[in-house]
Amino acid sequence: MAEVDPSRLIAALADIERHVSELGWDQPARLFALVETATLLTLEPQLQERIVQTAEDALTAVEQEDFQLGGDITARLARLTWPATVTGCAIAMERAFLPPRFESLVPDDPEEAIEFVNSHEARTDVRVVVGVLRDGSRHGLARVLSSPEDLLGAEDLVPGLADALLATFKEENA
């Protein structure tokens, strides 16, 4: 199997991360459709003055403004489907993490666990932007609140979230 060049996905995720970062922290999760820029400009020619096609296979992120996360993210994403014109999708979301040494102290009750993590002095706030393409490509970017100048990235940065995003491209008749 030929290796897929991840550069267009990474470029789209970097654009999303830059856009979300401009609005600061403490934002809700935000979902984006990734559409080939050429396709988008064909379908929506009025956007030609606002969107620049930087490469032949460039992707443009289109925010899904009616998206509300709430509850179990995997279950919420499992209910989504995309039209054929959507090449991929991405999500930007913030999470608080504790070092592994505190995991045994986290309460089992989800509400209590959230309160425990959010009020813990060792917590780390992270914004992740994870995206996938229909061909199975995946990548994630992360920015830590305490080190905002650093942008981390990896193919499997948040594998469970990437899997949930890929599942949104399931075949309707499968």
Per-residue pLDDT of 82-99, as tens digits, reads 999 999 999 999 988 888
The pLDDT of residue 67: 85
For the cut 50, the answer to whether the pLDDT of residue 1 exceeds it is: no
| DSSP codes of every residue in the chain | -PPPP-HHHHHHHHHHHHHHHHT-SS---EEEEEEEHHHHHHH-GGGGGT----STT-EEEEE-TT----S-HHHHHHT----TTEEEEEEEEEEEE--GGGGGGS-SSHHHHHHHHHH-TT-EEEEEEEEEETTS-EEEEEEETTEEEEEEEETTSSHHHHHHHHHTT--TT-
> What tens digit of pLDDT does each residue of 33-69 get?
999 887 777 777 677 676 666 666 789 899 998 888 7
Position 173 scores a pLDDT of: 38
Q: Which residue has the tokens 């995206």?
A: 131
The answer to whether residues 90 and 77 touch, using CB atoms and an 8 Å cutoff, is no
The pair of structure tokens assigned to 57 is 């296979």
In this predicted structure, which of 20-29, 84-93, 100-109, 157-166 has the lowest mean pLDDT?
100-109
Which of these ranges, 14-28, 142-156, 160-174, has the smallest mean pLDDT?
160-174
Given a cut of 50, is residue 174 above it in pLDDT?
A: no
